[in-house]
Homo-oligomer: A and B are copies of this chain.
Amino acid sequence: MTTRQATKAATVEGDLCCASVVEAPLSEPEAVELARVLAALADPVRLRLLSLVAAQDEVCSCDLEGPLDRSQPTVSHHTKILADAGLIVGDRRGRWTWWKVVPERLGALQRALGA
């Protein structure tokens, strides 16, 4: 498997689709799943990380430590959390891991907060 995160992203599976927060009564499992994805975004470092990846379409982990001003293990930790939430996917090519955003996932989140 080239994309190491593939299996993990798969565990996310859910569309968190269906009903939006303001329209649905929102069941407990739905709330837990949605909260999980929101929690992945609810961190300044990860928000900046995501916008950095989005800005360049594909970014190497090593190019994140500088702009984020965080150590290599910390950056790795945050990329993993975003990847587990399905918001980014990583592709390991050679010695480097390249990250890109998953627009559909962001769109689903957007819809979940929907008006």
Residues of B within 8 A of A101 (CB): 22
* Chain B residue nearest in CB terms to A24: B51
Q: Chain A at the B interface: mostly helix, strand, loop or mixed?
A: helix
**A interface, how many residues as a size bin?**
35 or more
User: Which of the 9-residue segments A1-9, A37-45, A58-66, A71-79 touches chain B?
Assistant: A37-45
22 sampled A-B residue pairs with Cβ under 8 A: A21-B47, A21-B50, A21-B51, A21-B54, A22-B54, A22-B103, A23-B54, A26-B51, A26-B52, A31-B44, A32-B44, A34-B47, A35-B41, A35-B43, A38-B38, A39-B42, A103-B115, A110-B110, A110-B113, A110-B114, A110-B115, A113-B113
